[in-house]
Amino acid sequence: MSDDAEPAHRGWLLLIYRVPPEPTRLRSTVWRRIKSLGAIYLQNSVAALPASPAAERSLRKLRHEILDMTGTAVLLECAVLVGEPEVRSAFQAARNDEYEEIVDRCEDFLHQVQKEYDENHFTYAELEENEVDLVKLRNWFDRVRERDVFGADGRAGAEQALEKCEQSLEAYAARVFAEEAEGH
């Protein structure tokens, strides 16, 4: 299989919808769901995802939720006749933005661990809190990687940032264990 994942790509799913203008929370609920699925907007109220059984299930569920809001929605499976590079590029840019956000959060994580060193906080409670944060980062990365069907450039940087976080947490854990062994 080639690096560009072309053989696995089976077209696009398009969700075209309208939700009532009021209350505005309905519109933001739909927007958050579409963003969480990794879909891109081709224009207002037209979202696209690479076709897959999981994406179809998710968009069918969202369509049903929109109908429950007294909105309208249609889900289409299609091929891009003209403009595929632009659609793919927009999808890649969205994944790269997500990877960059993960890298930013990894930097925050590393600063937080450094703060524990600076304040001489070497407790199991702090270790557990940092472990929970790292698990959240890894889970987020896994969700983005799952929907990164074309292999966005930002993935390697996010993987490296997570590895740094892992190493930092391991070093911090060793210090917590050493402090405990010394009876501090």
CATH number of the domain within which 45 lies = 3.30.70.240
Proportion of the chain above pLDDT 90, given as a percent: 85
pLDDT at 184: 56
> Of 24, 45, 79, which residue sits at a domain end?
79
Confirm whether 149 is domain-assigned.
Answer: yes
> Of 52, 79, 106, which residue sits at a domain end?
79
Q: Are residues 18 and 94 in the same domain?
A: no
Number of CB atoms found within 10 A of residue 120's CB: 9
Q: Are residues 19 and 51 in the same domain?
A: yes
Q: Are residues 74 and 91 in the same domain?
A: no
Number of CB atoms found within 10 A of residue 102's CB: 24
What residues contact residue 95 under an 8 Å CB cut-off, 6+ apart?
A: 38, 144, 147, 148, 150, 152, 154, 155
Average pLDDT taken over every residue of the chain: 92
Proportion of the chain above pLDDT 70, given as a percent: 94
Q: Are residues 143 and 95 in the same domain?
A: yes
The secondary element (H helix, E strand) that includes residue 159 is: helix 154-181
Which residue segment(s) compose the domain that 59 sits in? Answer: 6-79
The secondary element (H helix, E strand) that includes residue 121 is: none
pLDDT at 3: 41
Q: Are residues 31 and 100 in the same domain?
A: no
pLDDT at 2: 36
Q: Are residues 33 and 91 in the same domain?
A: no
Q: Are residues 70 and 93 in the same domain?
A: no
Q: List, in sequence order, the alpha helices (H) in 69-153.
A: 84-118, 124-147
pLDDT in tens, 148-170: 999 999 999 999 999 999 999 99
Number of domains in the chain: 2
pLDDT at 9: 65
The secondary element (H helix, E strand) that includes residue 10 is: none
Q: Are residues 116 and 33 in the same domain?
A: no
pLDDT in tens, 96-141: 999 999 999 999 999 999 999 999 989 999 999 999 999 999 999 9
Integer Cα distance of 154 and 105 in angstroms: 14
Structure tokens at 113: 């661990």
Confirm whether 1 is domain-assigned.
Answer: no
Rg (CA), the chain: 21
Q: Is 18 exposed, middle or buried (0-12, 13-18, 19+ CB in 10 A)?
A: middle
pLDDT in tens, 41-65: 999 999 999 999 999 999 999 999 9
Confirm whether 97 is domain-assigned.
Answer: yes
pLDDT in tens, 11-39: 999 999 999 988 889 999 999 999 999 99
pTM for this entry? 0.84
Q: Is residue 4 pLDDT above 70, yes or no?
A: no
Q: Are residues 126 and 58 in the same domain?
A: no
Q: Is 95 exposed, middle or buried (0-12, 13-18, 19+ CB in 10 A)?
A: buried
